[in-house]
């Protein structure tokens, strides 16, 4: 057959790509497993024992579809955050919800403002729906709030994406500065405030929840501190009518029954969450110490990873990343100009950190040579 169904012109114009090359693909290429998986910002500490028990119990019920209204999880999240269930939508991780937001609010050719080098999955969705992406460079290794505000007004942006704390640099703004961004945006511009790393951030970085604003969506996830990245469960908090719009387009059976059971158990076990947050803080300190011992500098982080300034250009940092990968340590690096001088190392177990500490000196020696 020579003929085939035609893609839309927009789809045909897009490259066949994904935002990230996964560690599994790299393992297939090398033919061997990684010794330490410290590149995807997952929680190497795993979920709570109570969550594992809930997952096991849920296995008996996977023959049933999950509740399409996600009623129980929304109620638990509402109580946890001090809002109403009507202020919460649950989805297949933040990534899934980002796709729905773009679908709901962006028509082809309309403008979106984000940071150059920020989370690429959001950009992937914008391209997929034909949006026009305007990017603002980082300033002093942080997303530039003032430049984002200026660009949003200048470009009459439909959406602004801002992560606090930030990925890939791990930096953050204080709540008063974030509130300045919220207050400064036009009422017709939707702010997508990604707080995936909110649990590991200082409390002073997270503004109080205000569900009266139709143009702010706060994004949260169970993938990071709660240790459930593989189950894909996230949620957005916002004004009731804004949240209800998701029902127009979401996959009502998209969040599976096991994920919901796990999320409920994770939310209940705040004692375990606090222990993970303590381990993350200790891990960040250790990565920073390892960097300093090798003549590198770690950028202060409020996430479960640390961006390490390798002291050279992007090519030098790439050599270091590739050297670590070749030795079985999965790490990643920012790619945007200015940020690309760094590698990004996720907090792992003590064994993971031991491997990083042992292998980094030789990798650096080879890169410097």
Whether residues 188 and 120 share a domain: the answer is yes
pLDDT above 80 for 222 = yes
Whether residues 299 and 201 share a domain: the answer is no
Whether residues 75 and 25 share a domain: the answer is no
Could you read off the pLDDT of 325-341 as tens digits, one per residue?
Answer: 999 999 999 999 999 99
User: The tokens of 147 are what?
Assistant: 């430049």
Q: What is the CATH number of the domain that holds 296?
A: 3.90.1150.10
pLDDT above 90 for 363 = yes
Q: What is the CATH number of the domain that holds 70?
A: 3.40.640.10
pLDDT band at residue 71, thresholds of 50, 70 and 90? very high
* pLDDT for 25: 93
Whether residues 140 and 223 share a domain: the answer is yes
Domain boundary among the residues 268, 294, 313 is at 268
Give the count of domains, the chain: 2
Whether residues 344 and 249 share a domain: the answer is no
Q: Quote the distance between the C-alpha of residue 140 and its chain's center.
A: 21
- Report phi then psi at 172, rounded to 5: -150, 165
* pLDDT for 285: 98
Domain boundary among the residues 241, 268, 295 is at 268
146 CB neighbour count, 10 Å cutoff: 13
Domain boundary among the residues 210, 243, 268 is at 268
Whether residues 275 and 261 share a domain: the answer is no
Does a structural domain hold residue 294?
A: yes
* pLDDT for 1: 66
Does a structural domain hold residue 276?
A: yes
Could you read off the pLDDT of 112-162 as tens digits, one per residue?
Answer: 999 999 999 999 999 999 999 999 999 999 999 999 999 999 999 999 999
Whether residues 94 and 237 share a domain: the answer is yes
> What span, in angstroms and rounded, lies between the C-alpha atoms of 256 and 290?
40
Range of the domain at 108: 49-268
Question: What DSSP letter does each residue of 302-315 carry, written as one string?
Answer: SSSEEEEE-SS-HH
The rounded mean pLDDT for the chain is 97
* pLDDT for 296: 98
């Amino acid at each position: 057959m020579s003929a085939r169904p035609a893609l839309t012109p927009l789809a045909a114009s897009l490259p066949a790509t994904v935002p990230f090359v996964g560690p599994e693909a790299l393992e297939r290429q090398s033919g061997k497993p990684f010794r330490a998986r410290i590149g995807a910002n997952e929680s190497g500490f795993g979920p709570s024992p109570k969550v594992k028990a809930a997952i096991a119990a849920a296995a008996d019920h996977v023959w049933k579809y999950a509740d399409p209204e996600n009623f129980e999880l929304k109620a638990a999240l509402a109580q946890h955050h001090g809002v109403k269930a009507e202020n919460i939508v649950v989805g297949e991780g933040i990534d899934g919800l980002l796709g729905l937001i773009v679908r709901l609010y962006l028509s082809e050719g309309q403008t979106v403002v984000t940071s150059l080098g920020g989370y690429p999955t959001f950009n992937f969705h914008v391209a997929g729906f034909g949006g026009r992406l305007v990017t603002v460079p980082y300033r002093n290794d942080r997303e530039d709030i003032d430049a984002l505000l200026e660009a949003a007004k200048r470009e009459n942006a439909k959406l602004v994406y801002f992560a606090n704390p930030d990925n890939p640099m791990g930096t953050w703004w204080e709540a008063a500065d974030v509130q300045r961004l919220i207050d400064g945006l036009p009422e017709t511009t939707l702010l997508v405030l990604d707080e995936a790393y909110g649990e590991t951030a200082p409390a002073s970085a997270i503004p109080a929840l205000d569900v009266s604003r139709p143009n702010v969506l706060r994004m949260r996830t169970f993938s990071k501190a709660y240790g459930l990245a593989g189950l894909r469960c996230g949620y957005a908090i916002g004004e009731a009518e804004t949240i209800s719009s998701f029902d127009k387009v979401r996959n009502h059976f998209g969040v599976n029954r096991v994920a919901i059971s796990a999320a409920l158990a994770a939310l209940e076990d705040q004692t375990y969450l606090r222990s993970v947050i303590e381990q993350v803080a200790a891990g960040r300190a250790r990565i920073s110490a390892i960097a300093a011992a090798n003549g590198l500098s770690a950028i202060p982080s409020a996430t479960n990873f640390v961006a390490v300034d390798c002291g050279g250009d992007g090519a030098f940092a790439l050599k270091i990343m590739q050297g670590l990968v070749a030795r079985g340590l999965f790490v990643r690096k920012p790619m945007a100009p200015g940020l690309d001088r760094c590698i990004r190392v996720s907090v792992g177990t003590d064994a993971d950190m031991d491997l990083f500490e042992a292998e980094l000196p030789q990798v650096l020696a080879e890169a410097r040579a």
